[in-house]
A and B are shown apart, each in its own frame.
Chain A
């Protein structure tokens, strides 16, 4: 059974940084593209970033480009999202999601339960 467990969320001040993690199990992590999606309180879903199975290709939404960095450790089965220069608009539940294949991060088939990041002074 595919399991995705996000962690690392919490409270951070505007301008601050944090690293979110997603521990994967139940599948061969290194064979699948991954993605991060966020959802602000009471709002809709927003795609944040995607990464290929090898980690060689990364993709970002305009709203986070230059501030967020996606990466993965295929030896430890962990997906990361380094978030920096945070502002209050970044407050959201951050979900990691598994792709159907190695190269297509946008063909999602499983989601984690999410981790809440709150940016506030």
Chain B
């Protein structure tokens, strides 16, 4: 199972919106609504910020939103803040009953 494809880095000035893409296939992202997004700060454990494509867990800022079109899922961070600087990973359930992560994206607030 190959990793889902994400851009290596995305940046933007504070206050701007940025979008991270996550491209898979019809056997994973495109075939199921079980796409999640995780935020990981350096030296910390990951934290789920989006599950089932577009649902936010309690306590997660509404500046984070998720969507999906075909084989590509997207995470949008609105009103980028310095605290949003972190690595972001998408992940999806697959037709092989396995789970695959994306390659990861480093977000920087310029």
Contact = CB atoms under 8 A, between A and B. Distances in A.
Given A111-B45, A112-B45, A45 B51 contact: no
A50 B99 contact: yes
Contacts of A114: 45
A108 B45 contact: no
B106 to A, nearest CB: 11
Contacts of B34: 104, 106-107
Chain B interface SS verdict (over half):
strand
Interface of A: 35, 37, 44-47, 50, 59-62, 95, 100, 104-114
Given A61-B1, A106-B34, A45 B98 contact: no
Contacts, number: 59
Interface string B21-32: 000000000000
A47 B99 contact: yes
Chain A interface SS verdict (over half):
strand
Nearest to B105: A44
A113 B47 CA distance: 11
B97 interface: yes
B103 interface: yes
Given A95-B46, A105-B99, A45 B91 contact: yes
A34 to B, nearest CB: 12
Contacts of A44: 3, 89, 101-104
B18 interface: no
Given A61-B1, A106-B34, A108-B36, A47 B98 contact: yes
B47 A45 contact: no
A60 B102 CA distance: 17
A35 to B, nearest CB: 7
B99 A35 contact: yes
Interface string B56-89: 0100000000000000000000000000000001
A49 B93 CA distance: 12
Contacts of B46: 37, 45, 95, 111
A95 B51 contact: no
Contacts of B45: 95, 111-114
